[in-house]
Amino acid sequence: MASSGYGDANQKIDYVFKVVLIGDSAVGKSQILARFARNDFSLDSKATIGVEFQTRTLVIQHKSVKAQIWDTAGQERS
């Protein structure tokens, strides 16, 4: 099972996953990232400009897994 910890900067990384969040503007991509990476949630968030990046390291089945997550600016609907 995944640990609730955020990992140790000096630990060995067994796997790295790179994930890009894409979708329409104002659907919650940044909030999903904030909750996962920092266990944070805010009702007062601003639109992402360009791209933001965060990481989190978990231990899953005794393996260290690092998630690198890119949050993109949303696509306006027409």
Low-confidence stretches of the chain (pLDDT beneath 70):
1-10, 76-78
pLDDT of res. 8: 56
> Could you state, in order of their start, the residue ranges of all structural domains in the chain?
15-72
Distances (CA, A) of 38 to 63, 75, 77: 21, 25, 29
pTM as predicted: 0.71
pLDDT of res. 1: 43
CA angle 41, 56, 45 (to 5 degrees): 25
- Dist CA 40 CA 17 (whole Å): 21
- The token duo for 44 is 């007062």
Question: Tens digit of pLDDT for each residue in 7-25?
Answer: 555 679 999 999 999 999 9
